[in-house]
Amino acid sequence: MSIDWNEYQPNQFYDELIRQPGKPRPAGRKLAGYLCKLTEQELTERRNAAEVTIQQMGVSFTVYTDGQNIDRSWPFDIIPRVIDSKQWQSTELGLKQRLKALNMFINDLYHDQNIIKDGVIPEHIIKESKNFRKECVGVTPPHGVWAHICGTDLVRDEDGKFYVLEDNLRVPSGVSYMLENRAITKRVFPELFESVRILPNNAYPAELLKMLGSLSPRKIKQPQIVVLTPGIFNSAYFEHAFLAQEMGAELVEGSDLVVNDDNVVYMKTISGLERVDVIYRRIDDLFLDPEVFNKESVLGVPGLMRAWKAGKVALANAPGAGVADDKVVYAYVPKIIEYYLGEKAILPNVETFLCEDPEQRAYVLANLEKLVVKPANESGGYGMLVGPHSTKKMRDTFAELISSNPRNYIAQPTLKLSTAPSLVEGTQPKPRHLDLRPFVLQGKSMYCTTGGLTRVAMKEGSLVVNSSQGGGSKDTWIVDMEKR
């Protein structure tokens, strides 16, 4: 049986494609009309084609389970998510505004700390931040920018507006999957790219290369840029290799680099040492340089911080940028934007309760069954409590965790996350919740991806979209509706 959109029930949620049974949103009309003309067999063939393409392209991700690494094929749903380009234009402005202010904030924290002196953000929030690096105090990276690559997670509530869920400023991942999702969709639905005005998203590798080049301490035509990976066992290794290949940059591990007495970073090659100008590092701060951070680390490069502080090499993202990747700091971002830019935040935050505040903590502890509780510095969906899906034992455990370390926890209301039709099983689409991670670059100039990585909770009713937690993904279309 072909898809019958009259049978599709988005219920009380904002659906990205179908606003009510049988009625697609304007930007998705051509897609919805096309899909319902496909037979059941044709839909099955398209889905099988996507799976074969993923295997042929070697698109995979790694899940850490009980200390073992398990490579899995990328979980992909063939029905794209559609966003009107007009709405995207204002969203992009909001994302750039946010990163610009966050970089001014980080730079201030490692210099004069005016935002603390002026009472906008409490001093203890920064003092107790596990990602504030005292080793970075007084350093000014090129252009005063610390977070060069940012992945901001957006969600839509039932009102259809985008809200910022969190900012990922340490080593944000996922952009390679955004690009691969588009490549797979082009193979599965090539005819749609002829009839729908889908804005391209393939400029990212070139923009990333341009941004990294703008950080080079040597003003030469072709600075040496490398991608520093922890190695093949890292969950994001596919992405590290993908981006290096797309940029034409060397993919290196810590043992491939050396810092000499001149504080210059060199790459070992068969023809000798070659100077490195810019390192796109995909290693956490604490493993970056055993001379300064974790003495036991074999992932990083001894002397790397010396070279960076001497201005002989650029690091992206800069060490210490993660101080703004703290979910407690996130709650202050609208104030941060007003303080540095004198503007209201274009993109609102999700309402957030700070457990370190006694009054807000009391509310959180009394309403755990309604809230989502998150630790301040975890990622990947780990360490969270999703109140409506929790047991009493889980809530009791979190009550103890919050009470013993309130600075480490925030809570947010359980949003009615938007849904999109997904072919989870069979050939009739079902609504599944999703989020969106666009990527923003800042160096000498700024760039934002056209759309981003859409992650989907493949289980009915689930709000957890992380791939490591069983989530999937789909292509994101920014559709131009303007007549030409």
**Cα→Cα distances 350→82, 331, 413, 420, Å:** 22, 9, 8, 20
Which contacts qualify for 292-298: CB closer than 8 Å, 24 or more apart?
292/135, 297/254, 298/254, 298/255
pLDDT tier at 389, thresholds 50, 70, 90: confident
Q: Is the pLDDT of residue 63 over 70?
A: no
Q: Is the pLDDT of residue 161 over 80?
A: yes
Average pLDDT, the chain: 92
Q: CA–CA separation, 290 vs 271, rounded Å?
A: 27
What residues have CB less than 8 Å from 49, skipping those under 6 apart?
A: 187, 188
Higher pLDDT: 65 or 75? It is 75
Report percent pLDDT > 90 for the chain.
80
Per-residue confidence (pLDDT) for residue 217, from 0 to 100: 97
Beta strands 472-479; 76-84: pairing state: parallel
Q: Which two tokens stand for residue 287?
A: 């493993």
pLDDT, tens only, 427-462: 889 999 999 999 999 999 999 999 999 999 988 888
> Strand, coil or helix: what is 195?
helix
Answer for the pair 339, 422: CB distance below 8 angstroms, yes or no. Answer: no
State residue 468's pLDDT score: 65
**Ranges of each domain in the chain:** 18-85+179-198+417-479, 218-312, 353-413
pLDDT at 379 over 70: no
- Find the mean pLDDT for residues 377-400: 85
Question: Which is nearest to 428 in space by CA: 41, 75, 40, 15?
Answer: 40
3-class state of residue 183 by DSSP: helix
Asked if residue 420 lies in contact with residue 78, where contact means CB atoms within 8 angstroms, the answer is no
Closest CA to 203 of 431, 475, 448, 480: 448
**pTM of the complete model:** 0.93
- CA 194 → CA 25, 199, 229, distances in Å? 20, 12, 38
| CA R_g for the chain | 23
pLDDT in tens, 128-153: 899 999 999 999 999 999 999 999 99
Backbone angles phi, psi at 422, to 5 degrees: -135, 140
Task: Assess contact for 412 and 437: CB atoms under 8 A.
Answer: no
Phi and psi, residue 248, nearest 5°: 70, 30
Cα 71 to chain centroid distance, Å, stands at 20
Q: What percent of the chain has pLDDT over 70?
A: 95
Per CATH, the number for 353-413 is 3.30.1490.270
Supply angle C-alpha 190, 191, 192, rounded to 5.
90
Distance CA 89, CA 480 (A): 11
**179 in Cβ contact with 454 (< 8 Å):** no
Q: What is the pLDDT of residue 224?
A: 98
> What pLDDT is stored for residue 414 in this prediction?
87
pLDDT tens per residue across span 14-43: 999 999 999 999 999 999 999 999 999 999
pLDDT band of residue 291 (cuts 50, 70, 90) is: very high
Closest CA to 464 of 396, 408, 414: 414
Distance in angstroms (rounded) separating the CA atoms of residues 413 and 395: 15
Give CA separation, 312 vs 262, 278, 289, 307, in Å.
9, 9, 15, 5
CA 106, CA 112: separation in Å to the nearest integer?
A: 11
Helix (H) or strand (E) holding 122: none
227-284 per-position pLDDT tens digit: 999 998 888 899 999 999 999 999 999 999 999 999 999 999 999 999 999 999 999 9
pLDDT in tens, 163-192: 999 999 998 999 999 999 999 999 999 999
Cis amide leading into 168 (omega within 30):
no
Question: Does the pLDDT at position 469 exceed 80?
Answer: no
Distance CA 95, CA 102 (A): 11
- pLDDT for the residue 66: 46
Rounded Cα distance, 98 and 148, in Å:
13
Q: How far apart are CA 317 and CA 305, in angstroms?
A: 13
Class of domain 218-312: alpha beta
Cβ neighbors of 142 (< 8 A, separation 6 or more) are 214, 215, 217, 314, 443
